[in-house]
């Protein structure tokens, strides 16, 4: 008998569905310890700075998941320095052109890249300028050509 797929509830929804513990503390009661003592609003940090909405963080996580592949990171690294065609990107990654095309399609869908045609050639460029910051963090943490030993 075939299994019927079950729909997974996102963790954020499961956490939100749990009843909240009572955090009411009398004004003359000494501060309690633990999670019940926390009376911060869900959208502010301890110093009053606003937090990014969970919807926005969910979208960010999806896009970061898209980037989380060594070939895609190499493609981004190259495109930050100029425009390239699929074949050039495939060769630099050591993969077949159809695989590079798939990586490019996924990153285009996330809004990271744009493509422009010139005759029969399609050139890819960076559409999301913040990728330079993300790649800078990666290169700083894990090494870059400038910092190779």
Phi, psi of 126 (to 5 degrees): -75, 130
How far, in Å, CA of 32 to CA of 55, rounded? 31
Question: What 3-state DSSP class applies to 73?
Answer: helix
Span 45-63, pLDDT tens digits: 888 899 999 999 999 999 9
How far, in Å, CA of 119 to CA of 90, rounded? 20
pLDDT higher for 30 or 85?
A: 85
pLDDT range class, residue 4, cuts 50, 70, 90: low
Interval 100-126 mean pLDDT = 97
pLDDT range class, residue 44, cuts 50, 70, 90: confident
Domains parsed from the chain with CATH numbers: 64-142 (1.10.10.10)
How far, in Å, CA of 38 to CA of 110, rounded? 36
What percent of the chain shows pLDDT beyond 90?
Answer: 63
């Amino acid at each position: 008998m075939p299994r019927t797929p079950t729909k997974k509830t996102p963790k954020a929804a499961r956490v939100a569905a749990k009843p909240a513990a009572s955090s009411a503390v009398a004004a003359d009661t000494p501060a309690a310890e633990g999670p019940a003592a926390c009376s911060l609003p869900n959208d502010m940090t301890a110093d009053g700075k606003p937090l990014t909405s969970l919807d926005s963080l969910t979208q960010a996580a999806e896009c970061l998941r898209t980037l989380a592949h060594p070939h895609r990171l190499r493609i981004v690294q190259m495109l930050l320095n100029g425009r390239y065609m699929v074949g050039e990107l495939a060769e630099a990654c050591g993969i077949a052109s159809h695989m590079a095309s798939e990586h490019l399609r996924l990153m285009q869908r996330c809004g990271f890249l744009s493509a422009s045609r010139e005759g029969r050639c399609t050139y890819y460029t960076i559409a999301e300028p913040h990728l330079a910051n993300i790649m800078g963090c990666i290169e700083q943490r894990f090494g870059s050509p400038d910092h190779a030993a």
